[in-house]
Structure 1
Amino acid sequence: MDTISKVIKQPHNQMISKVIPEILFVSCAMYIQVSGMKVLVGFSDDEGPALLSFINRGFRIRLYNVAEQVRSVLSHYYGFAPEDAKNITSYYDKDQGAGNFAEELFSDLLAVCPVRLFAELLHAWGNRVHTYVLHRTHFAASESGVLRGQSVRLLFGYPILQQAEESERALSTRVISHWAHFLKLGASCERCTL
């Protein structure tokens, strides 16, 4: 969590237009303490490809020598010391392929860590925090189903309304049930698996 705290505390003007909403939200939450609430927070475990696509709009990371490029981004744009950037990248398995390496690292840095930090802050301030991770496979644009990065469509029943594949309709129903249960009772749904 020190990693994400450092990212939040050292924003750079060049990054303002490139920082995703989660980091801004967590940054603001550090100044707005709330307590006595029941909160449901989570993320999709397939954030990496969409985030890398987003990152590449500004940084143009190529799929060769990715670790060095990522260390450069961490140092230059996020303010990490070169040794810290090297330590961060050493946690990720470079043998899994260059794209997957960068996807996993940026997914953790820009989605997983901010959501976890936000959940931990809310809990520390006296809130009851329920968390979830939406596990699902990637759908290519040519396949039927909700595309990655559009998980909110599951919550609003898009696959049901569009007569998507049965598995997508069932997943949408489970997501709706999970959120409805939380909104109704203020607790996670034990029988609702995502």
Structure 2
Amino acid sequence: MEPVRTVHGRAYPWGAKNIDTDVIIPAHWLKTTTRKGLGKGAFETVRAEPGNLFDDPRYAGSPLLIAGENFGCGSSREHAAWALADMGITAVIAPSYSDIFSGNAFKNGIVAVVLPQEAIDRLVEVAKTDEVTIDLETMTVTTPFQDRFTFEMDPFRRDCLMQGLDEIGLTLARDTAISKFESDAVESRPWITVGSGHEGFAVEGAGRT
């Protein structure tokens, strides 16, 4: 997972409320066995409408999406986060998210910023013409017009995003401690060593007098 410290660029000025995961990525796309290509199916029903903003060349490749409250509600499909990432979205700004989507976004390196509706309304207007910046270091969202909105985020999630650590990365970061624990365990409890041929006997006899 790539580290994310700042996200800067044009944003899709959507602002729509209660967007569920079936809108983000329709169910028939869930048959795929790879994450690649899911961006083509992202917001498929919205893209079917003429003049939709997701196919507007002004926002092509935008790394940010500005949405309304309760974004990512509905089913728990992780494909929703995969689809956003595959279409190049690195961050979403909304007043609220479903808990499952928020967790899936974090695990896939997508920054989910929570701001009040007043800030969302302002950012939707700004994004129609100018760029928006999210800074995880200062925990702010800013615009070229001196708008500055502060947000909060779970410190653990923020640290993982900034270091680019997913669950596998977190485990690998503790490789030294894990290896030491395993070697100490073998020395202090040799009967747990796999492949000795006497595991069953040793465990059965352990603790007997």
When normalised by structure 2's length, the TM-score is 0.27
Structure with the greater alpha carbon radius of gyration: 2
The structure with the largest strand share of the pair is 2
- More relative contact order in 1 or in 2 (CA 8 Å, sep 6+)? 1
Q: TM-score, normalised by structure 1?
A: 0.28
